[in-house]
């Protein structure tokens, strides 16, 4: 649906993201779990606003799975564990009866109220600018690492003890030909793999 008649498909699925809510007790809608945040910096103040909009689209697999994995599935498992009789009663209710409370017209008042009340505004002092002439601290440097790509590594240079195995990978050399090269993974002989 997101690719159908752009941008109408994307707008439609985003509206579904805003209007949809899970039927599982304790689970949250996408905008409740992942609200859109807007940050701005003014000269003396930093402003952060949480909106009732969603930071994602439920039609996108990764966004949908993130909601299922972090909120909907844990809420469902908790509902089954903590209220097994109520869960059986819900599952025994015909679907046509269960969906009536989740229809758009039935939820219009809740959606309108959320559009006006699910805002959060945070104001904080902006960090002071650095004074002219002040020098920033130098970042710490890591110890130098030398990698020699001019010749193939040997077992000794890779630090493999005699009688141990290793994983052999295929590497491309400077002449663009494939050749075996060693990775630094030593394994016991009985678990060794050969390529």
Render the burial of 139-175: b for 16+ CB within 10 Å, e for the rest.
Answer: eeeeeeeeeeeeeebeeeeeebeeeebbeeeeeeeee
Q: What is the pLDDT of residue 193?
A: 47
Rounded to 10 deg, the angle between the 73-82 and 84-92 helix axes is 110
Residue labelled with tokens 């003890």: 161
The tokens for 45 are 């103040």
d(CA 180, CA 125): 57
d(CA 176, CA 185): 25
Q: What is the pLDDT of residue 192?
A: 46
d(CA 84, CA 90): 10
d(CA 163, CA 58): 54
Low-confidence ranges of the chain (pLDDT < 70): 1-5, 128-149, 152-195
- Judged by DSSP in three states, 182 sits in strand
Q: What is the pLDDT of residue 195?
A: 44
pTM, rounded to two decimals:
0.57
- How many C-beta atoms surround the C-beta of residue 119 within 10 A? 12
How far the first Cα of the chain sits from its last, in Å, is: 45
User: Could you tell me the residue ranges of all domains in the chain?
Assistant: 8-125
Q: What is the pLDDT of residue 135?
A: 63
């Amino acid at each position: 649906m997101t690719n159908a008649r752009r941008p109408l498909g994307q707008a439609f699925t985003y509206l579904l993201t805003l209007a949809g809510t899970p039927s599982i007790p304790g689970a949250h809608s996408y905008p409740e779990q992942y609200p859109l945040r807007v940050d701005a910096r003014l000269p003396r103040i930093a402003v952060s606003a949480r909106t009732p909009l969603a930071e994602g689209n439920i039609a996108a697999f990764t966004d949908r799975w993130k909601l299922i994995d972090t909120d909907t599935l844990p809420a469902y498992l908790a509902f089954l564990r903590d209220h097994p009789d109520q869960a059986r009663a819900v599952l025994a209710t015909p679907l046509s009866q269960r969906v009536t409370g989740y229809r758009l017209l039935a939820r219009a008042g809740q959606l309108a109220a959320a559009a006006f009340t699910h805002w959060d505004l945070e104001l904080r002092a902006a960090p002071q600018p650095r004074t002219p002439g002040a020098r920033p601290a130098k970042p710490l440097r890591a110890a130098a690492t030398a990698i020699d790509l001019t010749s193939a590594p040997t077992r000794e240079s890779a630090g493999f003890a005699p009688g141990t195995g290793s994983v052999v990978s295929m590497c491309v050399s400077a002449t663009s030909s494939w050749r075996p090269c060693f990775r630094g993974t030593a394994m016991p002989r009985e678990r060794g793999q050969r390529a």
